[in-house]
Amino acid sequence: MGANQTASVISRLANLKHGKNMIYCPKCGAQNADQAKFCNNCASPLGATAAQSPQEPSQAQPPLPPQLQPGQKATLLDYMSHYTGLQYHWVRRFVAIVLDSIFVVVPVYVILSIMAWLTGGWVIFGGIMGIFLFLYSALFESAIGATVGKAILGLKVVSTKGKLEFSDTLIRNVTKIYPLLLLIEFVASLFLETTDAHQRFMDKIAKTTVVEKTA
């Protein structure tokens, strides 16, 4: 027996041993029979089905977990209890959510902490209070034509185009969401041309104005 023949026999034996008729799952690397349509470890589609249309998951179903009778419907838990690779898949999904939460929470926490430290908490306080001030103003003005503060001081919000709508009061109050926005808007209003000297810039957008309430 020559050296080449010996090598050939060894190679054939090796193929036999490692299962020439086996394929490896591209997802988890588990060995599967080459005609298998689904991985016996992780239930991922195998072979042509997966290769032809990787974007479109096959409509076919992985084989029922053996603890079920034929015709029974399998739940995710049924599949997970049999295909151990699936457990790994879902553990990774869970870890991914934990990681993503950390990726969101940590930077936001750091940024808010720095801002709170720089401003003594006023940035966050102003932002949160601004949302309440915005909603409060819009609701009260659309309901009774004034916030409590305006009513006390004899001021009333009216529409320049007819009936005052909730959408009008939402628009005119939107800059109250953040105190700095309201300040910028008011300063801008000071320098913009106007035909109604009782309007902020957002009053012009909302077609509203503020009048003195006459008895």
Residues that bind Zn ion (CB under 5 A): 25, 27-28, 30, 39, 41-42, 44, 85
Shortest distance, CB of residue 40 to Zn ion, whole angstroms? Answer: 8
**Measured from the CB atom, is 32 or 173 closer to Zn ion?**
32
Shortest distance, CB of residue 30 to Zn ion, whole angstroms? Answer: 5
Instruction: Check if the beta carbon of residue 182 is closer than 8 Å to that of residue 176.
Output: yes
Angle between helix 122-144 and helix 179-191 axes, rounded to 10 deg: 70
**Measured from the CB atom, is 85 or 130 closer to Zn ion?**
85
Burial class (CB in 10 A: 0-12, 13-18, 19+), 13: exposed
Instruction: Check if the beta carbon of residue 183 is closer than 8 Å to that of residue 126.
Output: no
**Measured from the CB atom, is 42 or 133 closer to Zn ion?**
42
**Measured from the CB atom, is 36 or 210 closer to Zn ion?**
36
Shortest distance, CB of residue 100 to Zn ion, whole angstroms? Answer: 24
CA 188 to chain centre: 35
Shortest distance, CB of residue 41 to Zn ion, whole angstroms? Answer: 5
Shortest distance, CB of residue 34 to Zn ion, whole angstroms? Answer: 14
Beta bridge partners of 158: 209
Q: Mark 19-32 as b/e (b = at least 16 C-beta within 10 Å).
A: eeeebebebbebeb
**Measured from the CB atom, is 76 or 197 closer to Zn ion?**
76
